[in-house]
Chain A
Amino acid sequence: MSVISDEFILLNTKFTSRDEAFKGAALKLYNAGRITDINKFIEGIYEREKLFSTYMENGIAIPHCKIKEVKEATVVIIRNSKPLVWQNEEIANIMIILAIPAENPDNIHLRILANIAQALLNKDFVDVIKNTNNAEAIIDKFRVINSVSNN
């Protein structure tokens, strides 16, 4: 199973709140067997958000949680049509949601998640996420960055 795949890249979504977006991501993960409990996943995201906001900048947030109900390390990329209120004054229209398994984590897949997070510091990668209407373009760009940074 892939950590990053077009199945989990949702472009031009019409969510009206970040809560709705989290639910959308959780449902997608649940239906694909990546998580076993939708509510626990959403709670986990809010718990992590309480420690400190995962809002980055440029309208991008990287909500995540590491819980036993995650069965496979997976990233869900959501680009919403409208910016959504994050917390404080922040607004985000791009969410890079990381589902991180707490039990028996497989290092190779966790490493890919870590590399996706790092790739968000790469302007070219962010530009593709912001602008493309093709999920494959995001995956291709990540592959390029990932292979360069591993050399």
Chain B
Amino acid sequence: MMKIIAVTACPAGVAHTYMAKKALEDAAAKLGHTIKVEAQGAFGIENEITQKEVADADVVILAVAVGIAKTERFKGKLTVNIPINTAIKSPENLIKKIEEKFNALE
């Protein structure tokens, strides 16, 4: 089991930001991982990731199509940058691939 944190963001901040958030949450739950997804969209920063959650996380997923705020939080963490569409179209494959990478590290 991995502890995942993720940030989603897209140009309009209304459609893909929230689709990617839900897709990642559903896929992580299905595959037995914990996840917290912060959305940086039209409503500002929602479900903000705390310092403690960053410290505890095994991996950071950035599914962003625009510049995002507060990236300095993730300095030094294992970070996976992906196109936001990947998070929406094949979230389970994505998480499985990350899992392989993660397991190979240990």
- Chain A residues with CB under 8 Å of chain B are 48, 51-54, 56-57, 62, 64-66, 98, 100, 105, 107, 110-111, 113-115, 117-118, 120-121
Contact = CB atoms under 8 A, between A and B. Distances in A.
B49 interface: no
A105 B26 contact: no
A57 B84 CA distance: 14
15 contacts: A51-B65, A52-B83, A52-B85, A56-B89, A62-B15, A66-B12, A66-B13, A100-B12, A107-B43, A110-B42, A110-B43, A113-B14, A114-B41, A117-B19, A121-B23
Interface string B22-52: 1100100000000000000111000000000
B46 to A, nearest CB: 10
A78 to B, nearest CB: 16
Contacts of B17: 114
A113 B42 CA distance: 11
Contacts of A118: 18-19, 21-22
A53 B18 CA distance: 16
Nearest to A73: B14
Name the prevailing secondary structure of the B interface residues: helix
Name the prevailing secondary structure of the A interface residues: mixed
Contacts of B65: 51-52
Please classify how large the interface on chain B is, using the bins under 10, 10 to 19, 20 to 34, 35 or more.
20 to 34
Given A107-B43, A111-B43, A114-B42, A54 B26 contact: no
Nearest to A110: B42
A131 to B, nearest CB: 22
Centre residue among B11, B13, B14, B65 by max chain A CB count within 10 A = B14
Centre residue among B12, B17, B18, B88 by max chain A CB count within 10 A = B12
A111 B43 CA distance: 8
B18 A65 contact: no
A81 B101 CA distance: 44
Contacts of B85: 52-53
- In order of increasing CB-CB distance, the 10 nearest A-B pairs are A117-B15, A114-B18, A66-B12, A118-B22, A118-B18, A117-B19, A114-B14, A113-B14, A100-B14, A51-B11
A64 B26 contact: no
Nearest to A102: B12
B12 to A, nearest CB: 4
A62 B21 CA distance: 16
